[in-house]
Amino acid sequence: MISIIRKFIRNDLFQGCPNLIATPLNFFTPVNIIDLNISRWLEAHIDRSASLTTFSKNLVLADVCGDGEYRLVLTDLKLENNEKSRLKIYKGTVLTSDQTLPDIPSSIISFYTSNYDSKIPVIGVACGPDLLIYKNSKPYFKFVVPPLPIEALEHSVWNRLSEDPNIDLQSTLDDLSSIPYKSLSPRSQKLLGLQTPLEIKDFISKYKSSEPKKFAPITCMTTLNRSTQDKQSPACPIIATEAGQIFILDPQTFTPMHEAISCATKAIPCVLQAAGMYDVEFRIVIACREGSICLLRRGWLEGKVLIQATANIVDIVVIPGDHFIMTATTDRMLQCYTKRGNKLWNQKMNTDITCLCLIPLSHLSTSLLGVGLRGGSIQLFQGRHLVDIIVGTETPSAIAFGQLGQEEHVMVIITTGGAINFKILKRTADFNFGDGEMNSNPIQQTKPLPLPKRSKLFLEQSMRERQNAVDMHQLFQKDLIRLRLTAARATVQMQSNQSSIGNEQELVKLSAQVPLISPNLTYKIETKVQEKDALVEDNQDSLQDSKRLLRVFVVRKREAKPIVAATINMPPTDLSFLL
């Protein structure tokens, strides 16, 4: 049956009135074709010998010197024992600062600390259980995650060790090894690893005077604006630990303002994304190594599981505006969920996804999602539509997009081979959003079509359709023509109504002019009254207003009904730039 209807639609509707039914037909048109010949990116710089090891969430673009020249700040991981990881700052394409880090960093953030301070954001680097804060590229503050509770037995073992010098060492150590190794403090773990009695004695006498402590390392971080969405307003660091703790810190004092756990069952957070404002309402989306994606909102002490992915999560991004959660998993799937966790669509990639990157384009009022793929290409999606492919030769390991130096639309790509690449989005790039929406069909049918059951009624109906196809078609055509006629009549009716609004006797013409795009808009509104082609009056009014919508009424004295009414919709002026 469906195929018959399709045939009708194709053969007849399409010929009759292509415009009217253009939208539903798109469903049957082939996949949209991306024009790869239009390069939308300028190749600014590539350094293949940078030998960087940088993963997703380990690079930020920030105005770290407060001079409006945005820098690239990244961590360069060194996994060999004898080498230390590094914190590097690039000015433009040039490395300007390079310092060692005490431990292997897991993630990096940048945020403004206060409204009153000089407008210089700090950098936060997570190393083990420490959040190291750098200001002006120098160490500034260190926040250590609060220690985890120690097992009661471990506690008593160390108590006994410190109090009783003639203790039976072997039985005490046996007590210690009866505790699961993973839940011991690093000190006890080390003690159990020692071989000779002498070593053990030395170790105990060295440490017995202090309590053992256990910290969970920080696994991921993000930031959340405190009370305004302004780009330079203070933002709270949010950190998550291996033990599932989530801390929201005060941006000025770096003390925890809120503490929660990622979810009821033990789950290790691996990516954090936050939206909203701490003082008003916020949503923290937590992706966990176990494949669950949890949501934490203002006032909650425990995250709620929204989504359970079937494969390991590579990366997630929350799209601003509609808060859609885009997830990339190790089974090459890119999936889109609503903020409530309902799956909207998914797309299988040809190769592994290595990283994701949000690409906000305020001048086009949209955000794209960059998907880094093994092999080197980066696909850009707007919603479910693929709008651009950046071809590369090396697999990207981390991508960042934002302002660098004076340029607002820079993409920084670090590859698994250690190269660093800077690309700049062309001013004239438009990604053909309009076309994309018109031409593309759902890339994949995720939901099956709602086919009716093969009931007796259905079979009879389809029989009838087959037998009387011609009649039904003609009937349909007749109705369609009738509908068009009604629509055309209504249009004519409406147009004639409109032209006569309060304008039967007079020919009043209104025209508005905006002479210059400036902060103080001055509109000039001209009223022309014509009577039998003779210009009777010519009024010009100027008024100043900063509002976007203007309503103009021309009224006769002592008469309530306006002769002419008009609304003027002003083009938006971007105040943030003008200020």
378 to 417: interface string for another protein, x by CB under 8 A: --------------------------xxxxxxx-------
Residues within window 555-574 making contact with another protein, judged by CB under 8 A: 574
Q: Can you tell me the distance from the alpha carbon of 72 to that of 293, in angstroms, rounded to the nearest whole number?
A: 29
Q: Which of 4, 8, 25, 92 binds another protein (CB under 8 A)?
A: 92
Stretch that binds another protein, among 78-86, 158-166, 419-427, 557-565 (CB under 8 A): 419-427
Which residue in the set 31, 95, 517, 543 belongs to the binding site for another protein (CB under 8 A)? 517
**Helix, strand or coil, per DSSP, at residue 347:** strand
Beta strands in 268-393 (DSSP E): 269-277, 281-288, 292-297, 304-308, 313-318, 325-329, 333-337, 343-348, 353-361, 366-373, 378-382, 385-390
Among 227, 232, 308, 518, binds another protein (CB under 8 A): 518
Q: Tell me: does residue 94 bind another protein (CB under 8 A).
A: yes
Q: Which is nearer to another protein, 348 or 426 (CB)?
A: 426
Q: Is residue 61 a contact partner of residue 69, using CB atoms and an 8 Å limit?
A: no
Nearer to another protein by Cβ, of 428 and 544: the residue is 428
Query: Which amino acid type is present at position 429?
Result: A
Residues that contact another protein, how many (by CB under 8 A): 26
Q: Where are the beta strands (DSSP E) in 101-244?
A: 105-111, 122-127, 130-135, 138-144, 218-225, 235-241
Question: E strand or H helix at 467, and its extent?
Answer: helix 456-467
- Amino acid present at 558: R
480 makes contact with another protein (CB under 8 A): no
Site for another protein in 9-28 (CB under 8 A): none
Q: Reduce the secondary structure of 406-428 to three states and give it as a string.
A: CEEEEEEEEECCCCEEEEEECCC
What is the token pair recorded at 218? 């920080």
Give the separation between CA 32 and CA 242, rounded to whole angstroms. 43
Task: Tell me: does residue 426 bind another protein (CB under 8 A).
Answer: yes
Question: At closest approach, how far in Å is the CB of 376 from another protein?
Answer: 20
Question: Smaller CB distance to another protein: residue 72 or 249?
Answer: 72
Least Å distance, CB 45 to another protein, is: 6
Residue 424 binds to another protein (criterion: CB under 8 A): yes
Q: Which residues share a beta bridge with 342?
A: none
Write out 512-544 in H/E/C secondary structure.
EECCCCCCCCEEEEEEEEEECCEEEEEEEEEEE
Joined tokens for residue 13: 């509707």
CB of 561 to another protein, least distance (A): 41
Contact string 320-359 vs another protein (x = CB under 8 A): ----------------------------------------
Question: Does the footprint of another protein cover residue 516 (CB under 8 A)?
Answer: yes
Compute the least distance from the CB of residue 245 to another protein, in Å: 40
Question: Smallest distance from the beta carbon of 266 to another protein, in angstroms?
Answer: 45
Q: Which of 45, 323, 332, 339 binds another protein (CB under 8 A)?
A: 45
Residues interacting with another protein, by CB under 8 A?
42-45, 92-94, 363, 404-410, 422, 424, 426-428, 516-518, 574, 577-578
